[in-house]
């Protein structure tokens, strides 16, 4: 890396001239840094907090580790249906906490300063801030770059509920530090994070109440969400939809939450509170104005190529608005690499984004929902296949759920939703089909090993041709062929 002395008089700083300056070492920033360095680019990666960002330290990884612990506990309770003696498990909360932290620790070396330094990336552990349109300051370093990439992610939102700021509460950034049983956890927010944590804590022995101001899992198909909500309620999770929180008071061990439900005010009492009411992009203290970068409360404004109002600066992942998923940040990193190194017109448009809620059962989706498809197309086909018609699901006693696929009148796949065990794995086939513009016929022409859950995808696809057997023209054609011998 070229170095120059461009420090103001009396200020000691080092100027680095590089190809890429990336602010934020979360999933998107790490993916971009590794790829750029692999192509021989000079890369500076700036991170003021923890390498790996939210996903490794507070999000995807610890939440799935906690869910896995809860799943084992629930398996012990429900073993009777397999002819195995069921019993209530003894939960060692310190050991569960250690399990979560050990999973993070096992993955952390892949995201570490040492690994990226070994890849040839110059990692700076400090806050990064633009001082003008083409300069970033980080600690004692002044960075000039051909391209700047902002990958600072997002943080949990604390809604303006009266009394909340005076009460100790968890967010996803703090709850995984807990190593004790939470006797009664009140969760504000009925989205994916709130419901995943609700089920995990319920299965680990906590009483759990979820308060959602609108509809729980509102972004998903309302035909499928009841399968998830009914399962959580059957396990003992209280879920109040349309519950507007008006006040929070108390202290750890004695929390009161006042809500308005159907015009009636009532109070929910518990011991702890988790706020899971959305996230906000991390744009503060980046010096965006100094760099001429347009932004608002939704994030940094970018075009379809992820370029900001400063043509030398890209923004990727949560901070760029849109879907707040790790896999989207990683995809954004690939788009930036293709645009900057190969001058390809890569864009975010036309790229179907799948999402999964990792409750049990899982809920997954990609493409258009039925409602969205009906709004855009004059005629659509809706294809379904239930889990209970799948032999592997019967053997595993995991028969709740179904596949739902939407096509246009010519059989072009528009979207798919799945609720049931391993829905997050099964949705990937539909993601591939959508990304390649496949028609439903292609989803019937592969051989599925038996017995596997993935057969539900093929059976759903065959529903498109279900009326063919009764079609008089098809029957006449078969009869004619038969006469020919």
Mean pLDDT of the chain: 95
| Chain-centroid distance, C-alpha 92 | 29
Confidence at residue 8, expressed as pLDDT on a 0 to 100 scale: 39
Of the given ranges (97-111, 196-210, 296-310, 465-479), which has the lowest mean pLDDT? 465-479
The answer for residues whose C-beta is within 8 angstroms of residue 395's C-beta and 6 or more apart is: 451
Q: What is the pLDDT of residues 13-35, one digit of tens each?
A: 789 999 999 999 999 999 999 99
Could you tell me the CA-to-CA distances from 46 to 52, 111, 315 in Å, in that order? 12, 13, 14
pLDDT mean over 445-466: 96
| Spatial contact of 357 and 220, defined as CB atoms under 8 Å apart | yes
Which of the four pLDDT bands, split at 50, 70 and 90, describes residue 167? very high
| Spatial contact of 220 and 423, defined as CB atoms under 8 Å apart | no
Q: Token pair of 130, please? A: 């633009």
Confidence at residue 470, expressed as pLDDT on a 0 to 100 scale: 65
Q: Residue 66: how many CA atoms within 13 Å on its side-chain side? A: 30
Confidence at residue 420, expressed as pLDDT on a 0 to 100 scale: 98
Confidence at residue 11, expressed as pLDDT on a 0 to 100 scale: 44
CA distance linking residue 102 with residue 81, whole number of Å? 32
pLDDT mean over 430-436: 97
Q: Token pair of 346, please? A: 């890569």
Confidence at residue 6, expressed as pLDDT on a 0 to 100 scale: 39
Q: Is the pLDDT of residue 133 over 70?
A: yes
* CA quadruple 171, 176, 179, 180: dihedral sign: positive
Which of the four pLDDT bands, split at 50, 70 and 90, describes residue 2? low
The answer for residues whose C-beta is within 8 angstroms of residue 435's C-beta and 6 or more apart is: 351, 352
Confidence at residue 10, expressed as pLDDT on a 0 to 100 scale: 38
CA distance linking residue 376 with residue 58, whole number of Å? 38
> For residue 391, how many other CB atoms are within 10 A of its CB?
12
CA distance linking residue 318 with residue 279, whole number of Å? 9
Confidence at residue 469, expressed as pLDDT on a 0 to 100 scale: 62
CA distance linking residue 16 with residue 18, whole number of Å? 6
Q: What is the pLDDT of residues 358-390, one digit of tens each?
A: 999 999 999 999 999 999 999 999 999 999 999
- Tell me which of 364 and 484 has the higher pLDDT: 364
* β pairing state of 299-300 and 355-357: unpaired
Confidence at residue 476, expressed as pLDDT on a 0 to 100 scale: 74
| Spatial contact of 151 and 26, defined as CB atoms under 8 Å apart | yes
Q: Is the pLDDT of residue 106 over 60?
A: yes
pLDDT mean over 404-414: 97
| Chain-centroid distance, C-alpha 10 | 47
pTM above 0.85, yes or no: yes
Of the given ranges (58-62, 127-131, 263-267, 477-481), which has the lowest mean pLDDT? 477-481
The answer for residues whose C-beta is within 8 angstroms of residue 359's C-beta and 6 or more apart is: 192, 195, 196, 199, 228, 231, 232
Domains of the chain: 2-51+112-156+280-342 (3.50.50.60), 164-277 (3.50.50.60), 361-466 (3.30.390.30)
Q: Is the pLDDT of residue 3 over 60?
A: no
Q: Token pair of 396, please? A: 């595993």
Confidence at residue 386, expressed as pLDDT on a 0 to 100 scale: 98
pLDDT above 90 covers a percentage of the chain that reads 93
Which of the four pLDDT bands, split at 50, 70 and 90, describes residue 482? confident
Which of the four pLDDT bands, split at 50, 70 and 90, describes residue 468? low
Burial class (CB in 10 A: 0-12, 13-18, 19+), 425: middle
Q: What is the pLDDT of residues 256-314, one digit of tens each?
A: 999 999 999 999 999 999 999 999 999 999 999 999 999 999 999 999 999 999 999 99
pLDDT above 70 covers a percentage of the chain that reads 95
């Amino acid at each position: 890396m070229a170095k120059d002395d461009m420090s103001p008089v009396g200020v000691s700083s080092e100027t680095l001239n590089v190809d890429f300056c990336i602010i934020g070492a979360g999933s998107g920033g790490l993916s971009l840094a590794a790829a750029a360095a692999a192509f021989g680019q000079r890369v500076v990666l700036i991170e003021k907090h923890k390498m790996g960002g939210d996903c490794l330290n507070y999000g995807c990884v610890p939440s799935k580790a906690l869910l896995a612990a809860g799943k084992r506990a629930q398996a012990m309770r429900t073993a009777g249906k397999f002819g195995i003696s069921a019993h209530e498990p003894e939960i060692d909360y310190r050991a569960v906490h250690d399990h979560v932290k050990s999973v993070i620790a096992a993955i952390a070396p892949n995201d570490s300063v040492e690994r990226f330094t070994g890849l040839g990336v110059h990692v700076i552990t400090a806050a990064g801030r633009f001082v003008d349109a083409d300069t970033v300051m980080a600690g004692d370093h002044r960075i000039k770059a051909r391209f700047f990439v902002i990958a600072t992610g997002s943080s949990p939102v604390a809604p303006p509920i009266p009394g909340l700021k005076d009460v100790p509460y968890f967010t996803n950034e703090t709850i995984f530090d807990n190593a004790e049983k939470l006797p009664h956890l009140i969760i504000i927010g009925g989205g994916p994070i709130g419901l995943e944590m609700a089920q995990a804590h319920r299965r680990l022995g906590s009483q759990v109440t979820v308060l959602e101001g609108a509809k729980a899992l509102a972004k998903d198909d309302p035909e499928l969400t009841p399968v998830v909500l009914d399962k959580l309620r059957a396990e003992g999770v209280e879920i109040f939809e349309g519950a507007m929180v008006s006040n929070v008071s108390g202290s750890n061990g004695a929390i009161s939450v006042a809500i308005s439900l159907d015009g009636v005010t009532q109070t929910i009492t518990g011991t702890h509170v988790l706020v899971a009411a959305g996230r906000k992009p991390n744009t503060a203290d980046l010096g965006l104005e100094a760099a001429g970068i347009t932004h608002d409360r939704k994030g940094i404004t970018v075009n379809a190529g992820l370029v900001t109002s400063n043509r030398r600066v890209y923004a990727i992942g949560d901070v760029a608005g849109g879907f707040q998923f790790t896999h989207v940040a990683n995809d954004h990193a690939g788009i930036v690499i293709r645009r900057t190194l190969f001058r390809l017109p890569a864009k975010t448009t036309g790229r179907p984004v799948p999402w999964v809620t990792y409750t049990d059962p899982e809920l997954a989706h990609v493409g258009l929902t039925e409602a969205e498809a009906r709004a855009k197309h004059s005629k659509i086909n809706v294809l379904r296949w239930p889990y209970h018609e799948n032999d592997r699901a019967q053997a595993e006693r995991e028969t709740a759920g179904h596949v739902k696929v939407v096509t246009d009148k010519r059989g072009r796949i528009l979207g798919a939703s799945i609720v049931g065990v391993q829905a997050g794995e099964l949705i990937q086939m539909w993601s591939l089909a959508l990304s390649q513009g496949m028609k439903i016929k292609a989803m019937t022409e592969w051989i599925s090993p038996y017995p596997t859950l993935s057969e539900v995808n093929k059976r759903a696809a065959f529903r498109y041709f279900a009326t063919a057997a009764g079609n008089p023209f098809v029957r006449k054609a078969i009869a004619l062929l038969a006469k020919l011998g």
